[in-house]
Amino acid sequence: MPTDRLIYKITPRDEWAAAEAKGKFEGASVDLADGFIHFSTADQVAETAAKHFRGAADLLLVAVETAPLGGALKWEASRGGALFPHLYGTLDPTHARIIEPLSLGPDGIPMVPKDLPSC
């Protein structure tokens, strides 16, 4: 199991604002369809941005500590067999440690900061 203590979620700003108002983040439509909230590690999030969020504006990068998620967080094989963090349940928005807006690059891919902390 990976030892990352921070995991990352890319989400539209309005969805995160709604989650903060509601007191829980249930995930985007893809999360709801899959039955868990998709996260990425620091090393995976740029590829996630390129693969799933090209052209999407007004996004946030949300960093969450893994410890408070407990047993609801599972590390499961996904892209290329890499282990990705999946949260089976809702996320309390107060667990966010970093919330940063993402700008689109000239290619339409959200620009994820380099050297994101993993712990």
What CATH number does residue 15 fall under?
3.20.170.20
- What is the C-alpha separation between 12 and 15, in angstroms, rounded? 5
Rounded to whole angstroms, how far apart are CA atoms 54 and 104?
8
> DSSP character for 36?
S
Within a domain: residue 112?
no
Per-residue pLDDT band for 2 (boundaries 50, 70, 90) equals low
Pairing of strands 59-65, 37-38: unpaired
**What pLDDT does 29 receive?**
86
Query: What is the tens place of the pLDDT at every residue in 25-81?
Result: 999 888 999 999 999 999 999 999 999 999 999 999 999 999 999 999 999 998 788
| Within a domain: 115 | no
Helix (H) or strand (E) holding 21: helix 13-22
| Percentage, residues of the chain above pLDDT 90 | 84
How many distinct structural domains can be found in the chain? 1
- Cα–Cα distance between 50 and 64 in angstroms, integer? 20
If one compares 4 and 118, the residue with the highest pLDDT of the two is 118
What's the confidence (pLDDT) of residue 116?
Answer: 87
The percentage of the chain sitting over the pLDDT mark of 70, rounded to a whole number, equals 96
- Run of H or E including 59: strand 59-65
Kindly state whether residue 118 falls inside one of the protein's structural domains.
Answer: no
| pLDDT at residue 3 greater than cutoff 60 | no
Q: Which helix (H) or strand (E) holds 31?
A: helix 29-34
Domain region containing 83: 6-102
